[in-house]
Structure 1
Amino acid sequence: MVTYNAVVSAADVKAVAGARLNRSWAGVLVLVCASPVVAVALVAAARSDLRRLYLRRALRPLGAVAAVMASMDTSALAMTPELAGLRDAVGLPGKIALGVLCLWSIGFALYGIVLSPVHVFRTADIHEAVPPVLAGVLVWEMALLDVITGA
């Protein structure tokens, strides 16, 4: 980064880190949309005797996607102004529990965002060929997004 003058000052470090987090988040969103399409295409292309096996194996990657999305929803729901009455009703112990749940959810979501492009939502559990196919799809989709947005 220093070689290409991407980082010259502390403000540049913050900008590069923010851009990297945004890129990771975009990658996760693209993976969430692309992984079911690729998995369905694999199941459709499989021999009829293997389709049921691949569908059963798809439950783990679906659970990984659901866990990351649920953690983001939990932290957002815990902080919404509409639930202020509920937070007041549970008192201080409930607020502490909600705070701990919110912090854990945010940490889990950030950790999932970082690991999702690497482990591709555990899609190797379906078939060992799914992660490389998804990685290729992700690269082309992100390149298309960059072309569309002018990045």
Structure 2
Amino acid sequence: MWRQFRDGEWPTLRELLSHLGRVHGCLWVPLLFCFLGPVLTVMASYPVIRSARHRARLSFPPHRGHGPDASVLRVQTIRAWLAVGASLAILAVFGTSEDWNEAQQQYYLRLIATPWLLLLTAPVVMALLFRKATPARRTEMRARLRPVLRSALRFFGAFTAFVVLAGLLVLVFQETISGDGSGGSPDAVLVVAGLVTYVAVVWLGFFLWFASGTVVRTAFGTADVHPALPALLTGVLVWELSLISFVVSDLPPGPLAVQLLAVLGGPLSVTAVAWWEIGRLRRAR
């Protein structure tokens, strides 16, 4: 079941409860007694989360079109884990509680900023690639551009709907708790509207969460336009994100050599892997 949650289609709530029902009753009694509220919340929200993930995988297939070969994917994974380990080691040795909080804030900043940077950077990189391509290759690339544009519009349309509905939810909530303005009970229509809006906001939030990883990894499927585009975009994006992190936050903790390694090590290693991937694509042609 763990592989199913990680790679495949999540089981339905009935299938999940059937599987969990095999657990001995002695374990369920204290679990329900101590965590009844969270358990009921998870059970109520699981179908919504499952639906959002299913739709995200349909709209943004994780293995769509061209992708890195096994060797490139293995090196990318190793590099990513080494970067995480190095960051944690620096924080563990030299960091304070404020540094840990700042690292968490940087993580959320990158999570939010990366799709927007990708939207702004991709046209520039594709324009340069179009300029370097031959006329025949340019015509072929232009024909493959429409699915990429539809994928980008779908993602940012969902993001816009999420922001609008979240703002509407705040207004409905404020109106509901105020009743009719004179301390009366809240209007039933507002309560129903608030619940519907809340479910929609939760669904869109998880849809964007599950889609973001694929969107960033595949760059909206730009490999269908040109196999080298994801590597090029990754190389540019990592320097843009490093510049943003440098501007909005302080240097990492530790001696100057450690700070330089933390600031430049990530972008340089990502650029090296991207350059190596492009070299493999050239030799494979």
Q: Shift of the alpha carbon at 1:129?
A: 0.9
Structure 1 pair 10/119, CA: closer, same or farther in 2 (3 Å)?
farther
Larger Rg: 2
Query: What is the aligned-residue identity percentage?
Result: 24
Identify the residue that residue 116 of structure 2 maps to in structure 1. Answer: 29
1:80 to 2:179 alignment: no
Identify the residue that residue 111 of structure 1 maps to in structure 2. Answer: 210
Q: Which moved more, 1:114-123 or 1:27-36?
A: 114-123
Q: Shift of the alpha carbon at 1:114?
A: 3.0
Could you tell me the TM-score, scaled by structure 2's length? 0.43
Distance in 2 (alpha carbons) for counterparts of 1:56 and 1:92: 48
1:99 to 2:185 alignment: no
Within a 5 Å distance, the mapping from 1:105-144 to structure 2 comes to 105-144=204-243
Distance in 2 (alpha carbons) for counterparts of 1:18 and 1:147: 13
Structure 1 pair 6/65, CA: closer, same or farther in 2 (3 Å)?
farther
Identify the residue that residue 3 of structure 1 maps to in structure 2. Answer: 89
Structure 1 pair 21/146, CA: closer, same or farther in 2 (3 Å)?
closer
> What amino acid is aligned across from residue 202 of structure 2 in structure 1?
L
Distance in 2 (alpha carbons) for counterparts of 1:15 and 1:26: 16
Kindly report the root-mean-square deviation, in angstroms, between the aligned alpha carbons of the 2 structures. 3.3
Structure 1 pair 83/93, CA: closer, same or farther in 2 (3 Å)?
same
* Higher RCO (C-alpha under 8 Å, 6+ residues apart): 1
- Where in structure 1 are there 5+ consecutive unaligned residues? none
Distance in 2 (alpha carbons) for counterparts of 1:101 and 1:4: 40
Q: How many residue pairs are counted as aligned between the two chains?
A: 149
Structure 1 pair 50/2, CA: closer, same or farther in 2 (3 Å)?
closer
Q: Shift of the alpha carbon at 1:27?
A: 2.0
> What amino acid is aligned across from residue 50 of structure 1 in structure 2?
R
Q: 8 Å contact 1:24–1:117 — kept in the other structure?
A: no
